[in-house]
Amino acid sequence: MGAGGTAGSLPRVTLVLGGARSGKSAHAEGLVEGNGGRPVYLATAAAGDAEMAERIAHHRARRGPRWQTVEEPLELAETLSRVTAPDAAVLVDCLTLWLSNLYGADRGVVDETNRLTHALEQVTGPVVLVSNEVGLGIVPDNALARRFRDDAGRLHQAVAEIADRVVFVAAGLPLTLKSVS
């Protein structure tokens, strides 16, 4: 039995990290589908250009019609509070896009991170959050990129601290970093 879950179910909060094209989204989708119940995809992306629209279409096609999709680029904490339920598993994809959206809306990252972690502590059903691990490469050469890398790292640490499970995916292979039973 997972922490905060029922027998055969996902834990209350799972964080799935990985690099670009690592297989993290597919892994997270598999976790949610394997949970049974109603899968909910909480998308933080907005189709700002043709390439992003194509990525969104690819993800939707991979998931299929069984998934309920909720699009919310900013109000993640409130939306999680509204869509989590004991009979549903929610997949948030992804936190780094949400962080970018916060930057674009000139929202306070620390306050929004606190709101998110508080909401995650209150969810009524399992949540799987996907995010890009951006801190493994070289130090970026510009201040905005360094700030983003640092904010993403702090966001990941805050979510990982309250998560029951944290998984890192590389080359399509999941490595469990934390598992509370």
What residues of the chain score a pLDDT lower than 50?
Answer: 1-8
**For residue 69, what are the domain limits?**
13-179
User: Which residue shows structure tokens 């899968």?
Assistant: 39
CATH at residue 170 = 3.40.50.300
**Model confidence over 112-127: pLDDT tens digits?**
999 999 999 999 999 9
Q: What ranges make up the beta strands (E) of 38-98? A: 38-43, 68-71, 88-93
The per-residue pLDDT for 6 is 39
* 156 classed as catalytic: no
17 falls within a domain: yes
Catalytic residue among 27, 58, 59, 156: 59
Domain count, the chain: 1
If you write DSSP's letter for every residue of 117-180 in order, what string do you get? HHHHHH-SS-EEEEEE--SSSPPPSSHHHHHHHHHHHHHHHHHHHH-SEEEEEETTEEEEEEE-
45 falls within a domain: yes
4 falls within a domain: no
18 falls within a domain: yes
41 falls within a domain: yes
pTM: 0.91
Contacts of 164 by beta carbon, 8 Å cutoff, 6+ apart: 2, 3, 4, 5, 11, 12, 13, 14, 178, 179, 180
